[in-house]
Amino acid sequence: MQPASHAIIIQGITRQGRAFRPSDWADRLCGVMAAFGGDHQMRYSPWVRPMILDGVRCVFVKPELRQAEPRAWRFLLDFARDNELVVLDPSSPPQEDFCPVPGADITAVP
């Protein structure tokens, strides 16, 4: 039996506690996976959305992306790792070497 998949949140905070720049990084990252609809309007992927959590820009990644587009899932995690961003993952044990947003309640994220 496989463990249940969980959404992850990539926060715009580095492991050193600094804000990640540029300020529109989350929109840009989600734009990589966006597509244009028949009305010629850009639509974010149903699996990846920019959001603000406790005043911090973040990217919310649904767990279904891992199965549907494994390379995209890996790309997002590699982006976070390469830029030393905090990743909130309820399926992983807490790590002592990062500083998530104080008081963040990831269960309240849609």
In the predicted structure, residue 14 carries a pLDDT above the cut 60: yes
Domains of the chain, residue spans: 8-92
The class of domain 8-92 in CATH terms is alpha beta
Bin 102: left if φ > 0, else alpha if -120 < ψ < 50, else beta: beta
The proportion of the chain whose per-residue pLDDT surpasses 90, expressed as a percent, equals: 51
AA letter at 77: L
pTM exceeding 0.95: no
Per-residue pLDDT, 36? 86
Q: Are 9 and 60 in contact (CB under 8 A)?
A: yes
Cα angle: 73, vertex 88, 8; to 5 degrees = 35
Average pLDDT of every residue of the chain: 81
Per-residue pLDDT, 106? 41
Tens digit of pLDDT for each residue in 49-85? 999 988 999 999 999 999 999 999 999 999 999 999 9
Tens digit of pLDDT for each residue in 20-34? 999 999 999 999 988
Per-residue pLDDT, 42? 84
